Amino acid sequence: MFCSKILLNMETAKRKILVVDDNADFVGLVRRLLENKDFQVSVALDGKTAFEKVLSDDPEMVLLDLKLPDLPGEEILKRIKEINKDIAIVIVTGFGGEQVAVDLMRKGATDFLSKPIDREVLYSAINNALKIRDAQIADRNFERYPTLERFFPFLAHEIRNPLHAISGALAIIRRRTDLKDEILDQSIKIIDEEVQHLNEFVQECLNFVRPPNRVHFIEIEMNDVLSVVMNIISHIFESNANKIKVIRELDPALPKIVANYEEIKQAFLNIAKNAFEAMPAGGALTIKTCCKKKSPTHIEVIFSDNGGGIKPEDLKSLFKPFFTTKLRGTGLGLAISRRIIVERHNGKIQIESEEAKGTTVKIELPIGLR
């Protein structure tokens, strides 16, 4: 099975959450809900035990009730952050506690929930908080990069924090607003979409400068990676996916390659996305894999679409960061793919295109690491 190591890791590495609340019934209920979703849960009924559990269980996230018998919520939040600033904290409040919760979001809490808590709202708040935590940790891993690229994480941090506050405030507005008012509903949706767009842009910038991680090189089957990529693509392009015919010419005898699975997946996702975006009215995408005959140490992957093609004068700029001809493009997709394929995997990427006819992207990757 391809990438079995990755799957194994995902299965074994349960995410750890500490639930802090003095109401034992509530704690029991939340524990069951979270264990059902495969989280590793520990609990504390007061502030003192919470600190002990933070030290002993090393949680990634704390669900923190504000009204505890021994210490005020703000004090607990502050001390947990002092022990480990990477712990995401989601505040749980009773009726009327929202004002304090909003205040605590300025002091490092990631989100808040009001009791009684709906199961789906709980899951989505937790997943969101963990995502934000992971992104913040990733933001810090860039020390060895040249000046311009070191600027990205700084920028990302400065953009993400206010975005995060906007999302939080928007969630409150949503809960308290009459969404039958169509204009208001539309306006909220616009803010939400634009915040999401900016978040994705920041993530793309960070992907671009992410340092290489040799530890994650494993044996992967390219045909399987491509299936995963196309599956993701069919979700992204849900509405017009059936207008595009995907023809697979995959060599069943393709040798495995040693590569970073996540990076390779990202590189091909960017390429496949471009092909789909080039065929808004439909078309065909052929994906071919083969072992290079002249150079049996390499595999070859070819994406050919019959979309709008690329202007001759644009061909030389395709791999430049921020080069885009799209209204909402970041222009980082191919720059990231090139960096992954060429710089991190010693491969090659080449693009040929004819306007109004279509585009062919050829990728070569070495089977073993050099």
Q: Does 88 bind ligand ATP (CB under 6 A)?
A: no
Name residues contacting Mg ion, limited to 317-336 (CB under 5 A): 333
Amino acid at 123: Y
Among positions 114, 207, 266, 274, the unique one binding Mg ion when judged by CB under 5 A: 274
Q: Does 270 bind ligand ATP (CB under 6 A)?
A: yes
Q: Does 237 bind ligand ATP (CB under 6 A)?
A: no
58: left (phi over 0), alpha (psi -120 to 50) or beta: left
DSSP 8-state class, residue 211 = P
**Cα 219 from Cα 363, distance rounded (Å):** 18
Q: Does 59 bind ligand ATP (CB under 6 A)?
A: no
**Cα 158 from Cα 173, distance rounded (Å):** 23
Residue 133 C-beta: closest distance to ligand ATP, Å: 25
Q: Does 60 bind ligand ATP (CB under 6 A)?
A: no
If the CB atoms of residues 199 and 274 are measured against Mg ion, the closer one turns out to be 274
Q: Does 305 bind ligand ATP (CB under 6 A)?
A: yes
Name residues contacting ligand ATP, limited to 195-214 (CB under 6 A): 204
DSSP notation for 258-320: EEEHHHHHHHHHHHHHHHHHT-TT-EEEEEEEEE-SS-TTEEEEEEEE-SS---GGGGGGTTS
Residue 347 C-beta: closest distance to ligand ATP, Å: 17
Among positions 49, 227, 234, 324, the unique one binding ligand ATP when judged by CB under 6 A: 324
Q: Which stretch binds ligand ATP (CB under 6 A): 1-9, 66-74, 130-138, 269-277?
A: 269-277
Q: Does 283 bind ligand ATP (CB under 6 A)?
A: no
Question: Which residues have a Cβ under 8 Å from the Cβ of 300 and sit 6 or more positions away?
Answer: 288, 289, 290, 291, 292, 362, 363, 364
If the CB atoms of residues 42 and 289 are measured against ligand ATP, the closer one turns out to be 289
If the CB atoms of residues 161 and 325 are measured against ligand ATP, the closer one turns out to be 325
**Cα 114 from Cα 93, distance rounded (Å):** 5
Residue 354 C-beta: closest distance to ligand ATP, Å: 10
Residue nearest to Mg ion (CB): 333
The radius of gyration of the chain from alpha carbons, rounded to an integer in Å, stands at 24
Q: Which does 318 bind (CB under 5 to 8 A by kind): ligand ATP, Mg ion, none?
A: ligand ATP
If the CB atoms of residues 260 and 337 are measured against ligand ATP, the closer one turns out to be 337
**Three-class DSSP category at 61:** strand
**Cα 341 from Cα 318, distance rounded (Å):** 15
Name residues contacting ligand ATP, limited to 336-365 (CB under 6 A): 359
In 157-189, which positions are buried (b, 16+ CB within 10 angstroms) versus exposed (e)? eeebeebbeebbeebeeeeeeeeeeeeeeeebe
If the CB atoms of residues 142 and 303 are measured against ligand ATP, the closer one turns out to be 303
Whether the CB-CB separation of 204 and 330 falls below 8 Å is answered with yes
Among positions 50, 87, 318, 367, the unique one binding ligand ATP when judged by CB under 6 A: 318
Residues contributing to the site for Mg ion (CB under 5 A)? 274, 333
Q: Which residues bind ligand ATP (CB under 6 A)?
A: 204, 270, 274-275, 278, 305, 307-310, 318, 323-326, 329-335, 359
